[in-house]
């Protein structure tokens, strides 16, 4: 799995890149089949950098999130895009489970009767009282 951090119109320090990498690695907990994670930070407007997170998974599934850092907290905006991608991955995984039948509805509180516990078909439903 590959993590790439790129910047436009500026540079980030190595310490900031390391912090961003550690935050982005959290996505790996939710989905094992990730191929690459690309983080693009556009520093054209220094007071409002744009952050884009692109996560590529197997079988051509891409998860994308974008955020504009309006308060100057770059790492907070990175956490926001990570949460957005995590939500997309969770939704995708739940769809996969539903499609495969792995997410069955919860069992009813009543236990179904086993075949040998069923009443005979010719027996009346209610007991006969004399």
Range 97-118 average pLDDT: 56
In order of their start, the domains of the chain are 2-100 (3.30.160.100)
Residue 43: how many other CB atoms lie within 10 Å: 16
Range 60-88 average pLDDT: 90
DSSP letter string, 53-88: EEEEEGGGEEEEEEEE--SS-HHHHHHHHHHHHHHH
Average pLDDT, the chain: 81
Q: How far apart are CA 65 and CA 105, in angstroms?
A: 31
In this predicted structure, the answer to whether residue 86 has a pLDDT above a threshold of 70 is: yes
Name 4's bridge partners: 38
| Residue 102: per-residue pLDDT | 56
In this predicted structure, the answer to whether residue 103 has a pLDDT above a threshold of 80 is: no
Q: How far apart are CA 107 and CA 126, in angstroms?
A: 28
| Residue 126: per-residue pLDDT | 62
Residue corresponding to tokens 């069955």: 104
C-beta separation of 63 from 35 below 8 A: no
Q: How far apart are CA 50 and CA 101, in angstroms?
A: 40
44-63: pLDDT as tens digits: 887 889 999 999 988 767 99
| Global confidence as pTM | 0.70
Range 3-16 average pLDDT: 92
């Amino acid at each position: 799995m590959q993590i790439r951090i790129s910047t436009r119109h500026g540079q980030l320090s190595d310490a900031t890149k390391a912090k961003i990498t550690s935050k982005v690695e959290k996505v790996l907990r939710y989905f094992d089949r990730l191929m690459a994670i690309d983080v693009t930070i556009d520093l054209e407007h220094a007071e409002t950098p744009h952050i884009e997170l692109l996560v590529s998974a197997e079988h051509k599934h891409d998860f994308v999130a974008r955020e504009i850092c309006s308060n100057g907290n770059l790492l907070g905006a990175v956490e926001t895009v990570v949460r957005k991608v995590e939500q997309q991955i969770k939704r995708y995984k739940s769809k996969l489970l539903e499609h495969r039948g792995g997410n069955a509805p919860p069992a009813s509180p009543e236990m179904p009767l086993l075949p040998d516990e069923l009443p005979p078909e010719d027996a009346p439903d209610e007991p006969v009282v004399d």
